[in-house]
Amino acid sequence: MISSFINHKIFTLLKVQYSNMLEYRVEIALWAISGIIPFFMLNIWTNNNLNESINISDVMLSRYFLCAFFVRQFSVVWVVFSFEEDSLMGKVSPYLIQPLNPFFRYFAQHLAEQITRFPFALIIAFFFFIFNPESIWIPNIGILFLSTISTFLSFLIQFLIQSIVACLCFWTEKASSIERLLFIPTLFLSGLLAPVVSFPSYVKSWIYLTPFPYLIDFPANLLSGNPINVSGGLFMQILWILLLFPIFKKIWFAGTKKYTAMGS
């Protein structure tokens, strides 16, 4: 039953959304380029020898930021903005009376966009290696497999967090403002600007209790080969998904009761 659902509905959704995304290939290339914050951060870290304070070599640090770039490319989520626009314009109404939760559409849209992004991300990585040849490495299959799973789990966590925020559109018209508020801890605590290991230990212990380090820091460290507690990290990612999913379901059901179908 579930496998036929995934095969039939999700696969068709993915196929259609991929065709749709290919219509925007130039935009996607630009979005991919716009995700190069980790490279700027790498530059700041290495130019100021900040890595010495946390005992990470230049090579390992550059691999970390390249991996952070990759993880970010495949876990970036914008569902709150799409859902907010669709619900304000009344576009959600036709989706709500179809036998498929509208969030599957957004989910497929994100996956399709990631597939479209993949070649552009590879090109950027290629140029990164040209300028940083010492950073070239080939992760083993096992690590590659685990970090792919971990990146997907990171995407799921972010998708669920944003979907919960998106559901607030049923109560407030500008749910994206809440997302903007969430962006601040995401930016600082996820490992996008600095590896979480660089934080003071008393702060670190608190950070690891939040979902943020499992968004970028954990999968990026895993992929780059830095020493890390793999099973503990994967366990925390799954735990956050298991915690967030029922919240999403509950807020979704409560929200659809409040839905007024405005704009349609």
Partner 1 sequence: MEKNIIDVRNLSKSFDITSKEPGLKGTIKHFFRRQTKSLKVIKNISFEIKEGEIVGFLGANGAGKTTILKILCGLIYPSEGSILVSGYLPFRRKENFLKKITLIMGQKQQLIWDLPPIESFYLNASIYDLDKFEAKKRIKKLSEMLEIDEELFIPVRKLSLGQRMKSELLAALIHEPNILFLDEPTLGLDINAQRNLRKFLQKYNKETNATICLTSHYMKDITSLCKRVICVHNGTISYDGELDLLLRKLSPVKEILIVCRSEEDVIKLENSGFSVKNKNKNEITIKIENNSITSSLKTILNNFDIEDLYINEPPVDEIIGKILIKKDYDL
Q: How far is the CB of 40 from partner 1 (least distance, A)?
A: 33
Q: How far is the CB of 79 from partner 1 (least distance, A)?
A: 17
Nearer to partner 1 among residue 17 and residue 162 (C-beta):
17
Q: How far is the CB of 165 from partner 1 (least distance, A)?
A: 21
Backbone angles phi, psi at 55, to 5 degrees: 55, 45
As a whole number of angstroms, the distance between CA 154 and CA 169 comes to: 24
Nearer to partner 1 among residue 9 and residue 204 (C-beta):
9
User: Given its phi and psi angles, is residue 263 left (phi above 0), alpha (psi -120 to 50 degrees) or beta?
Assistant: left
> 169 and 91 in contact (C-beta within 8 Å)?
no
Q: How far is the CB of 259 from partner 1 (least distance, A)?
A: 6
Q: How far is the CB of 73 from partner 1 (least distance, A)?
A: 23
Nearer to partner 1 among residue 137 and residue 171 (C-beta):
171
Nearer to partner 1 among residue 39 and residue 83 (C-beta):
83
Closest CA to 68 of 143, 141, 151: 151
> 75 and 158 in contact (C-beta within 8 Å)?
yes
As a whole number of angstroms, the distance between CA 192 and CA 216 comes to: 6
Collapse the DSSP code of 197 into the 3-class scheme (helix H, G, I; strand E, B; otherwise coil) and give the result.
helix
Q: How far is the CB of 258 from partner 1 (least distance, A)?
A: 8
At 59, list the tokens.
Answer: 């090579």
Nearer to partner 1 among residue 185 and residue 249 (C-beta):
249
Nearer to partner 1 among residue 145 and residue 171 (C-beta):
171
Closest CA to 233 of 151, 144, 142: 151
The residues, ordered by sequence, that sit 6+ positions from 103 with a Cβ below 8 Å of its Cβ are 79, 83, 163, 252
As a whole number of angstroms, the distance between CA 35 and CA 187 comes to: 12
Nearer to partner 1 among residue 84 and residue 217 (C-beta):
84
Residues at the interface with partner 1 (CB under 8 A): 8-9, 12-13, 16, 19-20, 23-24, 90-91, 93-100, 256-257, 259-261, 264
Q: How far is the CB of 96 from partner 1 (least distance, A)?
A: 6
